[in-house]
Amino acid sequence: MIPTLGFDGRRVLVLGLGRTGQAAAASLAAGGAEALVWDDSATAREAAEAQGLKLADPSRSETWENLAALVVSPGIPHLYPEPNRWIAAALDRGVPVDNDIGLFFRSLGQSDWDSFDTPPRVIAVTGSNGKSTTSALIHHVLVEDGREAQLAGNIGRGVLDIDPPGDGGVVVLELSSYQTELARALTPDVAVFTNLSPDHLDRHGGMGGYFAAKRRLFSEGGPDRAVIGVDEAEGRFLANQLSEGPEDMRVIRISSGTKLGGPGWSVFVRKGFLSETRKGKQVGSIDMREIAGLPGAHNHQNATAAYAALRAIGLGPRQIEAGFKSFRGLPHRSQRVGEKDGVTFVNDSKATNVDSAAKALAAFPRIRWIVGGQVKEGGLGSLSNATENVVKAYVIGRHAAETALDLGDLPLEVCETMETAVARAAEEAEEGDTVLLAPAAASFDQYDNFEKRGEHFARLVAALPGVTSAN
**What is the pLDDT at residue 323?**
97
Element at 121 (helix H, strand E): strand 121-126
d(C-alpha 375, C-alpha 212), whole Å: 26
> Which amino acid appears at position 414 of this protein?
V
**For the residues 69-88, what does the mean pLDDT come to?**
94
Overall CATH class of domain 11-98? alpha beta
| 3.90.190.20, 3.40.50.300, 2.40.50.430, 1.20.59.10: CATH of 335-462 | 3.90.190.20
Burial class (CB in 10 A: 0-12, 13-18, 19+), 81: exposed
For the four alpha carbons of 430, 431, 437 and 438, in that order, the dihedral sign comes to negative
Residue 244 has pLDDT above 80, yes or no: yes
Residue 85 has pLDDT above 80, yes or no: yes
Q: What are phi and psi of 26, to 5 degrees?
A: -65, -40
d(C-alpha 193, C-alpha 130), whole Å: 10
3-state secondary structure 224-235: CEEEEECCCHHH
- 128 a known binding residue? yes
**For the residues 435-455, what does the mean pLDDT come to?**
95
Q: How does pLDDT run across 25-63, given as a tens digit for each residue?
A: 999 999 999 999 999 999 999 999 999 999 999 999 999
- 129 a known binding residue? yes
Q: How does pLDDT run across 262-313, given as a tens digit for each residue?
A: 999 999 999 999 999 999 999 999 999 889 889 888 899 999 999 999 999 9
Sheet hosting strand 343-347, strand order edge to edge: 335-340, 343-347, 434-437, 367-372, 390-396, 412-416
Residue 19 has pLDDT above 70, yes or no: yes
- Mean confidence (pLDDT) of the chain: 94
What is the three-class DSSP state of 29?
A: helix
CB atoms within 10 A of CB 264: 21
Q: Are 416 and 397 in contact (CB under 8 A)?
A: yes
- 133 a known binding residue? yes
Domains 11-98 and 335-462 share a fold: no
Residue 471 — pLDDT band, cuts 50, 70, 90? low
Choose between 293 and 24: higher pLDDT: 24
**What is the pLDDT at residue 199?**
79
Q: What percent of the chain has pLDDT over 90?
A: 86
- Strands (E) in 348-431, as ranges, are 367-372, 390-396, 412-416
Largest CA distance in the chain: 69
- 132 a known binding residue? yes
**For the residues 413-422, what does the mean pLDDT come to?**
98
Compute and round to an integer the Cα radius of gyration of the chain: 23
**For the residues 329-341, what does the mean pLDDT come to?**
90
d(C-alpha 222, C-alpha 383), whole Å: 37
d(C-alpha 85, C-alpha 406), whole Å: 39
CB atoms within 10 A of CB 463: 12
Residue 470 has pLDDT above 80, yes or no: no
Residue 233 has pLDDT above 80, yes or no: yes
**For the residues 319-325, what does the mean pLDDT come to?**
97
**b/e sequence 217-242, b meaning 16+ C-beta within 10 Å:** bbebbebebbbbbbbbebbeebbeeb
d(C-alpha 218, C-alpha 227), whole Å: 10
Q: What percent of the chain has pLDDT over 70?
A: 100
Overall CATH class of domain 109-325? alpha beta
Residue 386 has pLDDT above 70, yes or no: yes
Domain ranges of the chain: 11-98, 109-325, 335-462
> CA–CA distance from 158 to each of 1, 44, 190, 355 (Å)?
10, 18, 19, 28
**What is the pLDDT at residue 419?**
98
**For the residues 345-371, what does the mean pLDDT come to?**
93
Residue 445 has pLDDT above 90, yes or no: yes
Q: Are 366 and 330 in contact (CB under 8 A)?
A: no
Say which DSSP state 450 is in: H
Q: How does pLDDT run across 103-136, given as a tens digit for each residue?
A: 999 999 877 898 999 999 999 999 998 899 999 9
- 131 a known binding residue? yes
**What is the pLDDT at residue 186?**
96
Q: Are 24 and 103 in contact (CB under 8 A)?
A: yes
Say which DSSP state 386 is in: G
Residue 455 — pLDDT band, cuts 50, 70, 90? very high
Residue 341 — pLDDT band, cuts 50, 70, 90? very high
Could you write out the DSSP letters of every residue in 59-80? TSGGGGTTEEEEEE-TTS-SSS
CB atoms within 10 A of CB 59: 9
